[in-house]
Amino acid sequence: MIADAQPGHIDQIKQTNAGAVYRLIDQHGPISRIELSKRAQLAPASITKIVRELLEAHLVRETEYQEVGSRGRPAVGLELDSEAWHYLSARISRGGITLALRDLSSKMVVEEQLPLAAEHEEPLLTRILTEVDQFFSRHQRRLERLTAIAITLPGMIDAANGIVHRMPFYAVEDMPLGPALSSRTGLPVFLQHDIGAWTMAEALYGASRGCQNVIQVVIDHNVGAGVITGGRVLHTGSQRVVEIGHTQIDPYGKRCYCGNHGCLETVASTENMLEMAQQRLQLSANSTLRGQPLTVESLCDAALTGDQLAKDIILSVGHSVGRILAIMVNLFNPEKILIGSPLNRAAEILHPAIVSCIQQQSLPIYSQALQVESTQFFNQGTMPGAALVKEALYNGSLLVKLLQG
């Protein structure tokens, strides 16, 4: 095709092919050039050229290995060479920032959880930049070649331009986080909504590995979901969260920060759930929760030991979330639903409540074989950022930057 001969297209094809080869080496290495050519459906000459560039940049290396079913001499295969390349993966959540240095295989070198107060005289952007600077200087001796910064957070995000329009808990308006971090460090910055990136992390390394159709719901300070359909994250290219937290479930309910009333989040977020537990506790004389600090952990533990009030609170969260999930099951027909929540501590109470709603309220042929389970990662670690970097290597966008040096 003539269009393919245009320079922009050639660059795009080169990027896509390099990313595809890198992905195959990552997923199947050690792998021979012949096998790479078959799996990538690229001519041997193209494979030779791409592999040569990857070898010269020290992104892959050659290794001898015994091919399956062969008793002859060991073959020469390719595997990733990732230890000499680091990136920063950061996650901002309510009151804290987690910063981690990882190598290109996603292996963690060091991770720190630091406080990030919701209210402060300095703007959030300045504080984030300072935390990143200080993290790099604290770990300077361990730093290998830095490749990128990945950052995930809750809020309204323009992922393509690196802008955070709004955040819960922090006073933020159109914060240019991506451009600011990039001009400070000279590194490419990948920004994404926390739930969308977490959904990718579970698909790449966690509980939904190998699944093609998944709904991942997060019940925490915020309530939201990520959807994988046909092996692709829904809304790739923008904010990848599905805002189920702002679906109305009670028209006479509490006012939500989004401007509406009775959103799912106003009954199912951990803060709102604890507030409701506190109110009911004042009317209940015999709950084991009386006289101890009320936290998600203490609520779960009380429910697990049979406390009726605690159980009722968790069941009601399960039923509220389950109602919305039942609708989503009819829309997306997933093979698996993942629940990411500190309430998983009482999964044996929460999950059956969700499952019973789905079974009663969605199409039986869709819900029959559906699996509901906990996410592998928890809502603080930096694997969501790792998934963003992996994606940028696999689609070639970060890889070509590393190849150009």
Binding site for Zn ion (CB under 5 A): 246, 256, 258, 263
The CA radius of gyration of the chain, in Å to the nearest whole number, is: 24
Nearest CB to Zn ion, comparing residues 58 and 246: 246
- The C-alpha atoms of residue 398 and residue 383 are separated, in whole angstroms, by 18
Work out how close the CB of 266 gets to Zn ion at its nearest, in angstroms, rounded to a whole number.
7
Query: Residue ranges of the alpha helices (H) in 186-306?
Result: 194-205, 265-268, 270-281, 296-304
Least distance CB 211 / Zn ion (angstroms): 29
- Shorter beta-carbon distance to Zn ion: residue 147 or 320: 320
Q: How far is the CB of 262 from Zn ion (least distance, A)?
A: 8
Query: Whole-number minimum distance, CB 167 to Zn ion, in Å?
Result: 14
Nearest distance, CB of residue 117 and Zn ion, angstroms: 24
**Whole-angstrom distance, CA of residue 9 vs CA of residue 358:** 46
Q: Judged by CB, which is closer to Zn ion: 167, or 309?
A: 167
Cβ density class 101-139: b for 16+ within 10 Å, e for less: bbbbebeeeeeeeeebeeeeeeebeeebbebbeebeeeb
Q: Which residues are CB-neighbours of 274 under 8 A, at least 6 positions away?
A: 294, 295, 296, 299
Q: Which sign does the torsion angle of CA 105, 374, 313, 317 carry?
A: positive
Phi first, then psi: give them for residue 225, nearest 5 degrees. Answer: -145, 160
C-beta of 78 vs 223, nearer to Zn ion: 223
CB closer to Zn ion out of 39 and 246: 246
Q: Any bridge partners for residue 108, and if so which?
A: 102
By the 8 A CB rule, do 225 and 196 touch? no
Minimum CB–partner distance for residue 343 and Zn ion (Å): 20
State the Cα angle at 15 between 203 and 89, rounded to 5°: 45
**Whole-angstrom Cα distance, residue 102 to residue 405?**
19
Output 30 or 168, the one with its CB closest to Zn ion: 168
CB-count exposure of residue 281 (10 Å: 0-12, 13-18, 19+): middle
333 close to 366: Cβ distance less than 8 angstroms: yes
Q: Would you say 222 or 382 has its CB closer to Zn ion?
A: 222
Q: How far is the CB of 312 from Zn ion (least distance, A)?
A: 24
Which residue lies nearer to Zn ion by CB, 217 or 263? Answer: 263
Provide the minimum distance between the beta carbon of 272 and Zn ion in the complex, in angstroms, as a whole number. 11
For Zn ion, give the closer residue by CB, 271 or 373. 271
Residues 6+ away with beta carbon under 8 Å from 139: 101, 109, 110
CB of 320 to Zn ion, least distance (A): 13
Q: How far is the C-alpha of 400 from the C-alpha of 405, rounded, in Å?
A: 9
CA distance 236 to 234: 6
Q: What are phi and psi of 325, to 5 degrees?
A: -65, -35
What are residue 224's DSSP bridge partners? 218
Q: Which is nearer to Zn ion, 83 or 250 (CB)?
A: 250
CB of residue 198 vs Zn ion: minimum separation in angstroms? 20
Closest CA to 192 of 377, 391, 376, 332: 391
Minimum CB separation of residue 124 from Zn ion in Å reads 22
Nearer to Zn ion, 241 or 349 (CB): 241
